[in-house]
Amino acid sequence: MSIEVKWAGFDFGQCLMDPSGLRNYLVIGDVCKEIGEPERIVERIHRYRVLKEKYGGYGATKEGHRDEILKYVFENNAEAMEIFGVKEQEYLKVPEGTEEVLQYLRDHGVERAVVAELKKTLGPIGTDNVTRFLEKNNLLNYFDQVITPQGCVELRDGSVDLRYKGKTKEAGTLYDELAKDLSKRGINPTDAVMIGDKLSTDITPAKKRGFYTIQYTGYIDYGRSEDADFVISSFLELKDIVRGINR
Amino acid sequence: MTVPKRLIIEFEDGSKKAIEFSQLARPVWLELSRLELCLPPPPISESLKNYLLLRWKNGWQEVIGVDKNSVDLLRYYILERTEEVGRIVLNANEDYPILLTVNRLPKELNRLMIVGGGNAKGYHLDPNVKKEEGGKIEHVEYDKADRYFQPQPEGQGEVWLTEVIETLKNELSQKGLSAEKLLNEDPINRVKEYKDLAKAISLRATEKQEDVYGLIQLMIEKMVARNR
Q: What is the pLDDT of residues B144-188, one digit of tens each?
A: 888 888 877 767 889 999 999 999 999 999 999 999 999 999 999
Cβ of B104 and A25 within 8 Å? Answer: yes
How far, rounded to the nearest angstrom, does the alpha carbon of residue B127 sit from its chain's CA centroid?
A: 25
Above 60 in pLDDT, residue B75?
yes
Instruction: Residue B195: list chain A partners with CB under 8 A.
Output: 36
| Chain A nearest-CA residue for B210 | A36
CB proximity under 8 Å: A 21-40 to B = 25-26, 29-30, 33-34, 36-39
Cβ of B198 and A39 within 8 Å? Answer: no
Q: What is the pLDDT of residues A205-214, one digit of tens each?
A: 999 999 999 9
Q: What is the pLDDT of residues B96-117, one digit of tens each?
A: 889 999 999 999 999 999 999 9
* Average pLDDT score over chain A: 93
Q: What is the pLDDT of residues A38-97, one digit of tens each?
A: 999 999 999 999 999 998 888 888 878 999 999 999 999 999 999 999 998 899 999 999
Cβ of B209 and A38 within 8 Å? Answer: yes
Mean pLDDT within A135-159? 93
Instruction: Residue A26: list chain B partners with CB under 8 A.
Output: 104-105
So what's the ipTM on this one? 0.74
Least confident of A194-203, A232-241, B129-138, B188-197: B129-138
Whole-number pLDDT of residue B44:
67
| pLDDT level of residue A194 (50, 70, 90 thresholds) | very high
CA of A69: how far to CAs of A44, B21, B24, B35, in Å?
10, 33, 27, 37
Whole-number pLDDT of residue B205:
95
Three-state secondary-structure class, residue A121: coil
Q: Report the C-alpha gap between B13 and A116 in whole angstroms.
A: 62
Output A57 or A34, whichever has higher pLDDT. Answer: A34
Cβ of B105 and A36 within 8 Å? Answer: no
Report chain B residues touching chain A, CB-CB < 8 A.
Answer: 74-75, 103-105, 195, 198-199, 204-209, 212
Cβ of A29 and B104 within 8 Å? Answer: yes
Cβ of A38 and B207 within 8 Å? Answer: yes
Whole-number pLDDT of residue A154:
94
| Chain B nearest-CA residue for A27 | B104
Whole-number pLDDT of residue B45:
63
Q: How far is A219 from chain B (nearest CA, A)?
A: 14
Does the CB of A57 have a partner CB in chain B at under 8 Å?
no
pTM of the complete model: 0.77
Cβ of A33 and B206 within 8 Å? Answer: yes
Cβ of B206 and A38 within 8 Å? Answer: yes
Cβ of B207 and A39 within 8 Å? Answer: yes
Three-state secondary-structure class, residue A128: coil
Of the candidates A26, A34, A36, which has its C-beta nearest B104's C-beta? A26
Report percent pLDDT > 70 for chain A. 99
The torsion angle over the Cα atoms of residues B90, B91, B93 and B97, rounded to 10 degrees, is: 70
Q: Report the C-alpha gap between A48 and A41 in whole angstroms.
A: 10
DSSP letter string over B99-146?
A: EEEE-S-GGG--EEEE-SSS--EEEE----EEEEETTEEEEES--TTS
Of the candidates B75, B104, B208, which has its C-beta nearest A39's C-beta? B208
* Average pLDDT score over chain B: 90
Q: Report the C-alpha gap between A26 and A90 in whole angstroms.
A: 10
The DSSP code for A133 is H
Mean pLDDT within A2-26? 93
Sort strands A145-148 and A151-154 into parallel, antiparallel or unpaired.
antiparallel
Output B85 or A57, whichever has higher pLDDT. Answer: B85
Question: Dmax of chain B from CA atoms?
Answer: 70
Nearest C-alpha neighbor of A74 from the set A104, A106, A114, A30: A30
